[in-house]
Amino acid sequence: MARSLRRSHHPGKLIVVEGIDGSGKSTQLDLLHKWLLSENYLVAFSEWNSSPVVRRITKRGKENKSLTPLSFSLIHAADFTDRLERQIIPALEAGAIVLADRYVYTAFARDVARGCSPQWVREVYSSALQPTLAFYFRVPLEESLRRILVGRPELKYYEAGLDLGLASDPYESFKLFQSRILQEYETLTEEFNLTVIDATQPLVKQQEQMRAVVRPHLEGALKAGAGSVADVLRDEALLGRYLEQISIGKNGEK
């Protein structure tokens, strides 16, 4: 029997994507987002490490490399909890579909890969709500590395796991760190019964599978109140020439 997080009693739906860097999860979530908007659903979006107040502390800690596995974990928990209380729960209460790019499973995988106790990390995040759907984009390490490392981008200190001292070369360190995270994800997939998508398939195929899983959960989900601008344009044969000057119609952008 798979483990669950705290049960949600809200009318909205929470859909999350997980996976290592280079798994293509954000691309797939973005495609899902656009589809839901085109279907006129009320969608809210929440991204890992984006709480306005907390993120500044995290940024500072990353810049001067003062974060340890412990403080790294705690500051991300503060960030998550702030977004949970301020963005995710209110939107779910209102009946929206909430899309989250990374959720608590990211912390369970990363923090444990950094040496935190699995049990402790799960306790820290015990206020998290069970998502309606949690997708895990499974990709072999070599494939994700190929996608990320093509062009030899500059890897950031914590991104490469250099704080762990696994290797002094950022690329070597990144590989070792990602492989640890991947291992943790594989455990989580069973523990929390994540919906696995084979992320080596063509993008369009992954999106088809994702939509097929999501579709049955959309019944009764709240639609955007004012209707879409697209409807008016179509029905009234307008071009929307001046819409670009105002903010309406940009809800879909991050």
Partner 1 sequence: MTEVRYYGQAIPGFNETYLPGKLIVVEGTDGVGRSTQIALLQEWLEGRGFAVASTGLRRSELARRGIDRAKQGHTLSDTVLFLLYATDLADRLESQIIPALRAGMVVLTDRYIYSMIARAQVRGADPKWIRQVLGFALIPDAIFYLQADLPHLIPRVLSEQGGFDYWESGTDFFKGRDLFKNYVRYQTRLLMQFDAIAEEFGFRRIEANRSIKEIFTELRREVGTIVTPMKRQSGVGT
Site for partner 1, rule CB under 8 A? 51, 53-54, 56-57, 60-61, 64, 66-71, 74-75, 77-78, 81-82, 85, 114-117, 119-120, 123-124, 126-127
User: Which of 97, 43, 40 minimizes the C-alpha distance to 227?
Assistant: 40
How far apart (Å, rounded) are the C-alpha atoms in residues 68 and 71? 5
How many other C-beta atoms lie within 10 A of the C-beta of residue 138? 20
Cβ proximity of 137 and 25 under 8 Å: yes
Nearer to partner 1, 89 or 134 (CB): 89
The pair of three-digit structure tokens given for residue 238, joined into one six-digit string? 């307008």
The least CB distance from residue 79 to partner 1, in Å, is 8
Q: Which is nearer to partner 1, 22 or 161 (CB)?
A: 161
C-beta closer to partner 1: residue 13 or 62? 62
d(CA 172, CA 177): 9
CB of 88 to partner 1, least distance (A): 13
Alpha-carbon gap, residue 239 to 232, rounded angstroms: 10
- Joined together, the tokens standing for residue 148 give 């990320």
34 or 56: CB nearest partner 1: 56
| Least distance in angstroms from the C-beta of 127 to partner 1 | 7
In the complex, what is the shortest distance from the CB of residue 66 to partner 1, in angstroms, rounded to a whole number? Answer: 6
Identify which of residues 120 and 244 has a Cβ nearer to partner 1 in the complex.
120
The token duo for 188 is 């989580």
Give the shortest CB-124-to-partner 1 separation in angstroms.
5
